């Protein structure tokens, strides 16, 4: 299977060419059922609409198809390509994410324990002295270098929903049904 760093070199220019920022590249699955998950966002909104996902999917597929035709298979195994927005309870994958989302609830799993803990869960403080800091609900302020972070994500809360609203709904189809009472409806109600 391909190295994520090498895939990033191939994928990130395609993401940037569409004006997006790369959030994460990840292989998901096992037993020959692999998905290559690519998360990206528009910098101004922090999201992608369905057309953005389709455009990025076509662009990456075309790039990988051209590489395969040239005898350079970038993945090496059968896979399904998944393009998505990071969503509201997004993963925190870049150092800047920890400052950008300071004040919100997060869960940070670490490689080497911090004060005996493999997980910090609480309000994200941001970066302090080049370390990620969290006001853990049980253990107070905990911090760790970015290199020690195994996995981090925001937790869905009312405050996070409010901070990310309004989401762009310009491409959404919203149907409203108007109901007008007719004489037949009125007669049926009286019976």
Could you tell me which residues are beta bridge partners of residue 149?
110
Reported as half-sphere exposure (CB side, CA atoms, 13 A), residue 66 has a value of 7
Taking Cα atoms as reference points, which of 56, 57, 58 lies closest to residue 19? 56
The confidence score (pLDDT) of residue 150 equals: 96
The confidence score (pLDDT) of residue 115 equals: 94
Taking Cα atoms as reference points, which of 107, 98, 78, 91 lies closest to residue 24? 91
Q: How far, in Å, CA of 45 to CA of 29, rounded?
A: 30
Q: How far, in Å, CA of 130 to CA of 144, rounded?
A: 9
Location of structure tokens 């990033």: 8
DSSP H helices, the chain, are: 4-17, 50-69, 95-100, 158-164, 183-190
Q: Checking phi first, is residue 115 left (phi over 0); if not, alpha (psi -120 to 50) or beta?
A: left
pLDDT < 50 stretches in the chain: 174, 176, 178-191
The confidence score (pLDDT) of residue 163 equals: 86
Domains of the chain in start order, with CATH, are 4-84 (3.30.300.70), 95-164 (2.30.30.100)
Answer for the pair 119, 108: CB distance below 8 angstroms, yes or no.
yes
pLDDT digits (tens, 9 = 90+) for 100-151: 999 999 999 999 999 999 999 999 999 998 899 999 999 999 999 999 999 9
């Amino acid at each position: 299977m391909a190295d994520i760093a090498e895939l990033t070199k191939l994928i990130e220019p395609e993401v940037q060419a569409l004006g997006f920022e790369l959030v994460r590249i990840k292989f998901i699955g096992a037993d020959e059922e692999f998905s290559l998950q690519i998360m990206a966002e528009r910098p101004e909104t922090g999201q992608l609409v369905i057309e953005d996902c389709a455009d990025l999917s076509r662009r990456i597929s075309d790039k990988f198809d051209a590489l395969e035709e040239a005898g350079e298979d970038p993945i090496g195994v059968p896979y399904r390509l998944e393009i998505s927005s990071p969503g509201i309870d997004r993963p925190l994958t870049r150092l800047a994410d920890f400052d950008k989302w300071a004040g919100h609830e997060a869960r940070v799993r670490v490689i080497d324990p911090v004060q005996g803990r493999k997980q910090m869960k609480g309000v994200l403080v941001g970066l302090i002295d080049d370390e990620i800091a969290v006001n853990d609900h049980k253990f107070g302020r905990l911090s760790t270098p970015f290199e020690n972070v195994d996995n981090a994500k925001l937790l869905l809360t009312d405050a996070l929903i409010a901070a990310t609203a309004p989401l762009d709904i310009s491409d959404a189809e919203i149907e409203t049904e108007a109901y007008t009472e007719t004489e037949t409806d009125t007669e049926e109600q009286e019976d």
